[in-house]
């Protein structure tokens, strides 16, 4: 019955991105946790936790979690018996075992992202929860992009997830997490704080924070444009240049060849597009065309930004498709 209700609830929320949040439990060293309930063969109410990482899909984890709100059921291999410990002990500052709901990107970060955020400060292994960082320092290191993935880490807590559903009570951070070639956690390598400030821990925010709304949309993949676009919003965006009068249009030749590619200018157009119409990219940098249909409902913005882009590039972009205005009726939009 519970499984059927959970499946129905997930179906009602629509499709889920393959990189959606999962429950991750990890520790670099063997750990002993006392106060076990559901010990099932463990000696002296002790839960032994092996080093490494365990993970479950959130829906699966929700089905197996302890019915007692003051206890946390450990993630364990199928060879180990079930074991639930007191939440207050598990989430204390001295507990060696980490539990977090994490969205892990499926591809390495770009050099542009590392440069934008000045990524150079790290901690050994996957990060500890904020209450367990006393005495720990971020140390300078050189990131290996191929071995890192963007991670949106939302920490477990005694009075938040996992005792309740993942929501605004949970505190989240952005990290670059080390993984092996098979995508599994590499607890022997360093994680990098994904922040713009020098030598500081990531800024915490609540699950569902509107600044990162796409990151909390279960139907959207975790794309680094979420970070690049949102980070750019910390500074007011420059006003688009004033358009030329229709009576005296600017006549410039079509864009051709790689010599005219100016990446910062093109990236800025992509960032504007992500903010206005979403993650779909309309600009073809090889064919030098803009898919106008992708901007339907935002035709005026397209006109302004395309003109600004052409003026900065010094050449004209071809337009494909038709942009349908927000007020167009059904017959006109066919």
Residues 107 and 198 in one domain: yes
Distance CA 286, CA 31 (A): 54
Range name among 120-124, 263-267, 328-332 with the lowest pLDDT average: 328-332
Q: Residue 243: give the domain boundaries.
A: 236-334
- Please report whether residue 6 resides in a domain: no
Cα distances (Å, whole numbers) of residue 21 to 63, 75, 97, 168, 310: 15, 16, 19, 15, 40
225, 244: one domain: no
Same domain (yes/no): 105, 81: yes
- Residues 7-18: b if buried by 16+ CB within 10 A, e if exposed: eeeeeeeeeeee
Q: What is the DSSP string of 229-262?
A: HHHHTTSPPPPPPPPPPTTS----PBP-SGGG--
pTM of the model: 0.65
Structure confidence by residue, pLDDT tens digits, 8-22: 333 334 567 889 999
Q: Is residue 199 part of a domain?
A: yes
Cα–Cα distance between 72 and 51 in angstroms, integer?
18
CB of 227 closer than 8 Å to CB of 234: no
pLDDT in tens, 238-260: 444 444 434 334 456 788 765 45
Higher pLDDT, 71 or 8: 71
Q: Which pLDDT score, from 0 to 100, does residue 258 have?
A: 54
From 205, 229, 253, give the residue that closes a domain: 229
- Are 222 and 19 within 8 A, CB to CB? yes
**CB burial of residue 102 (10 Å; 0-12, 13-18, 19+):** buried
Residue-wise pLDDT tens digits, 185-240: 999 999 999 986 666 899 899 999 998 999 999 999 998 999 987 443 443 444 44
Structure tokens at 90: 């598990």
Nearest to 326 by CA among 277, 289, 279: 277
Do 287 and 171 belong together in one domain?
no
3 belongs to a structural domain: no
250 or 51, which is more confident? 51
Output the pLDDT for position 231: 43
Least confident of 142-146, 217-221, 314-318: 314-318
DSSP track, 114-173 = HHHHT--EEEEBSPPPGGG-TT---EE----GGGEEEEEEEE-BTTSTBTS-SSTTSEEE
Comparing 37 with 137, the larger pLDDT belongs to 137
């Amino acid at each position: 019955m519970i499984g059927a209700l959970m499946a129905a609830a997930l179906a009602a929320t629509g499709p889920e991105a393959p990189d959606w949040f999962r429950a991750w439990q990890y520790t670099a060293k063997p750990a002993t946790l006392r106060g076990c309930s559901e010990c099932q063969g463990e000696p002296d109410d002790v839960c032994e936790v092996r080093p490494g990482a365990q993970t479950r899909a959130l829906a699966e984890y929700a089905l197996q979690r302890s019915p007692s709100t003051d206890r946390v059921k450990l993630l364990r291999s199928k060879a180990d018996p079930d074991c639930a410990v007191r939440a207050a002990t598990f989430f204390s500052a001295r507990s060696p075992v980490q539990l977090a709901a994490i969205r892990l990107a499926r591809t390495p970060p770009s050099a542009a992202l590392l440069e934008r955020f000045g990524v150079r400060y790290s901690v050994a292994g996957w990060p500890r929860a904020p209450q367990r960082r006393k005495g720990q320092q971020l140390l300078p290191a050189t990131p290996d992009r191929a071995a890192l993935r963007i991670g949106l880490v939302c920490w477990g807590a005694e009075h938040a997830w996992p005792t309740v559903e993942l929501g605004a009570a949970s505190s989240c951070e952005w990290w670059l997490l080390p993984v092996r070639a098979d995508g599994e956690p590499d607890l022997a390598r360093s994680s990098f704080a994904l922040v713009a400030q020098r030598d500081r821990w990531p800024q915490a925010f609540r699950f569902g924070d509107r600044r990162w709304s796409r990151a909390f949309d279960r139907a959207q993949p975790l794309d680094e444009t979420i970070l690049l676009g949102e980070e750019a919003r910390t500074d007011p965006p420059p006003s688009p240049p004033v358009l030329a009068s229709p009576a005296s249009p600017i006549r410039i030749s079509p864009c051709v060849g790689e010599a005219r590619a100016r990446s910062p200018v093109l990236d800025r157009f992509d960032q504007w597009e992500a903010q206005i119409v979403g993650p779909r990219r309309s600009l073809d940098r090889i064919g030098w065309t803009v898919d106008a249909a992708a901007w339907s409902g935002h035709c005026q913005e397209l006109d302004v930004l395309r003109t600004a882009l052409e003026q900065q590039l010094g050449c004209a972009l071809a337009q494909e498709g038709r942009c349908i205005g927000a007020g167009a009726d059904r017959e006109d939009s066919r």
